[in-house]
Amino acid sequence: MDKQLYPEPTVGALIYGKDNRIFLMKSHKWGHKYTIPGGHIEVGETMEQALIREVKEETNLSIFDIRFIKFFEVIFDPHFHNRKHFIFFDFTCRTNDTDVILNEEAEEYLWATEDEALQLHLEDNTRRFIERVKKI
């Protein structure tokens, strides 16, 4: 484990497509479970800018109607490939795009209803996020 001086702020996107299905991707970073796209916030970048950039880099999707939902901490989670202290800022958003191109962080992807998603092998934080959004 690298010596980390401060928690790393990151963003994540629960993306809704035209048919109101959500985008999920399977990632080796989370033990080959389904998760949402996202990543670190660069210095000088707003959370929304980071979200737009990370989603584009990981999925090729352009997003809009970005809404902050919640934040939470993950401290040295043994399920993540790199044990660090993270502060996650999670958002919902929409896309009209259908041409998904995954980068090396994802193994595969799918679109699912919220209920279908909750039946999948989800990363724990992603499961809690979907469950919370369903209550809104």
The answer to whether residue 47 sits within a structural domain is yes
Residue 17 has pLDDT above 80, yes or no: yes
Cα–Cα dist 100/78, whole Å: 29
Query: In the prediction, which pLDDT does 19 show?
Result: 95
Query: In the prediction, which pLDDT does 71 show?
Result: 94
Percentages of the chain per state (helix, strand, coil), in multiples of 5: 25, 35, 40
What is the pLDDT averaged over residues 111-134? 96
What is the pLDDT averaged over residues 99-122? 96
Cα–Cα dist 9/17, whole Å: 26
Nearest by Cα to 37 from 103, 84, 98: 103
The answer to whether residue 3 sits within a structural domain is no
Residue 56: how many CB atoms within 10 A of its CB? 16
Per-residue pLDDT reduced to its tens digit, 77-96: 776 666 789 899 999 999 99
The answer to whether residue 27 sits within a structural domain is yes
The answer to whether residue 1 sits within a structural domain is no
For residue 74, CA distances in Å to 8, 24, 27, 41, 53 come to 10, 20, 17, 16, 22
The answer to whether residue 2 sits within a structural domain is no
Cα–Cα dist 84/108, whole Å: 25
CA within 13 Å, CB half, 50: 19
Q: Which domain holds residue 74?
A: 8-135
Query: In the prediction, which pLDDT does 84 show?
Result: 84
Q: Please state the domain count of the chain.
A: 1
Give residue 74's pLDDT band: very low, low, confident or very high (50, 70, 90). confident
Cα–Cα dist 74/81, whole Å: 13
What is the pLDDT averaged over residues 84-109? 94
Say which CATH number the domain at 115 has.
3.90.79.10
Query: In the prediction, which pLDDT does 29 show?
Result: 87
Could you tell me if 50 and 79 are in contact, meaning their C-beta atoms sit under 8 angstroms apart? no
* Average pLDDT score over the chain: 93
Residue 130 has pLDDT above 90, yes or no: yes
Say what the pTM is: 0.92
Cα–Cα dist 72/60, whole Å: 26
What is the pLDDT averaged over residues 118-136? 95
Residue 58 has pLDDT above 90, yes or no: yes
